[in-house]
Amino acid sequence: MGQYLYISPHTVSRHIRNICKKCSAANSVHLISLFAGVSCLAPYPGLTRRENQIVSFLARGIIPHAIAEATGICISTVYKHRENILLKLEAHSTREVVALLYQAQKQQEQKAKTHYTIKISSYR
């Protein structure tokens, strides 16, 4: 991102940290969820129930240790689920996973709105 703005990666990181503080976001992943305007992610069909649960925690910026405690599973299991999620979605980071899932959800909502509009207009 910095190369497009002609600033160093360190400066980009500093700005992101400042934005996180101002928006009361736990981290940059949580910041994405705040700006996306989606309170929670819908279950993604390619992931298991547990993987969807882990993704929803990660999207809210919750750290793996807290996820393990909340779900009653071992921390290494949380990391294994995260690894499987990255592989299934062909993503390189949690940020990318969250962004992909928000984008998929927004597209799904857009299709539903279009379908609903077509149905209503066909009855007139």
C-alpha 94/C-alpha 101 separation (Å) is 11
pTM for this structure?
A: 0.60
pLDDT at 40: 60
Average pLDDT of adjacent 10-residue blocks, the chain of 124 residues: 68 77 68 58 82 86 85 92 94 88 79 62 54
pLDDT at 111: 75
pLDDT at 123: 54
pLDDT at 13: 77
CATH number at residue 48: 1.10.10.10
Please report the beta strands in the chain, taking only residues with DSSP state E, as ranges in sequence order: none
Q: Give which of 86, 98, 89, 118 is closest to 34, Cα–Cα.
A: 98
Give the count of domains, the chain. Answer: 1
Range of the domain at 87: 2-122
pLDDT at 75: 93
- Token duo for residue 97: 């996973």
